Structure 1
Amino acid sequence: MLTFEEIQAARVLCLQEAQKCFMEDRKLLTENKPLHSRSQLVKLSPIICKDGLLRVGGRLDNSQLPADVKHPILLPKSNRITRMILEHEHTTNLYPGVSAHFVIVRQRYWIFGARNLIRNLVHNCIKCFRQRKLTEHQFMADLPGIRITEADNGTNFVGAKRALDEMQQLLSSQEHQRNLAQSLANDGIKWSFIPPHSPHWGGKWESSVRSVKLHLRRVVGKTVLTCEEMQTLIAQISAVVNSRPLCYTPDTDLTWAPIYNCSRGRSD
């Protein structure tokens, strides 16, 4: 079984292999010479870290962000290793959208043309494609007679009617309404309704519901989960959703620092 140190060493070797296309820039940096004006790294103020990897320089040294966020690793867009990193982050973070995936990757890597690569990856992902597919509208046949003919007065329906009538009497009683109003007042709860069948009025919470459904559909599909599996998955989805950025993430700004709803621990 591989140790943590062995995995880290293999990761560094793979990234160094991917950065061989920056060999000329690395040589100039090693000799403390300025980069050529035509170099694609010249605007990123690149530095060479202690493990020999090229990283973005930037102006965030005095921030309290993790080192990987302040100085992400530079990677070309055409290398196979870059593609494998994007695919790994896509599945590990439960098939996020383009913007969320871009922010997750940017916490550790600066990939040239990353947004277009991620957009292509998400577009070609089978799970994501199936969830984007529109439901086909088949021509419906006539309803069967048993569903439109008055008949089936079963005892279970009679019992259900009796239970609903008792519930209605309880809800409409003044004593129940008085106790409910007092309890809500004590807890500082005030009902604020939106129009029926109009989730777009919901704003932030409806957007969060949509985000959770997106991950649920793409991960679960038609699989039936146990209660423990569902609780575990919901906890993972909660971590992903709460790690989204609070503002738009630029593709080239070196002064950008990520702002999140809450932080999630990450380890190399």
Structure 2
Amino acid sequence: YVHRSNCHPGPNTVQNILQQSFWIISVRGVIRRRLHRCIPCFRASPRSPQPFMGNLPRARLDHVKAFNKTGVDFAGPFNVKAALIRKLRVTKAYLCVFVCMSTTAVHLELASDLSTPTFMA
């Protein structure tokens, strides 16, 4: 009755309204059970649908040694200071990111350019 007559408030508000007049032992659990059955409150706050997780690649499911199957990507360019004897020379460098498909471990390498010979070295 208190819940409907006060425009369907939450459990804390219903508890405060009741405790102004009555002292009920373990009232919080009783209120939560009653509010859980309230159909107008259920309709007013529907749950949003959660998307299903996609299927994992086969390499993520197999238990193999680390970096047996890898993913590769480049990041950059970054300006790197190469220290010579007297001068600082700024060169362009790239970061090669290796990701293990089974453990998602990450290994980083520095590459001077994006060419195939530099990647293979």
TM range, smaller chain: 0.3 to 0.5
TM score, norm. by length of structure 2 = 0.38
| Structure with larger Rg | 2
Give the strand-richer structure, 1 or 2.
2
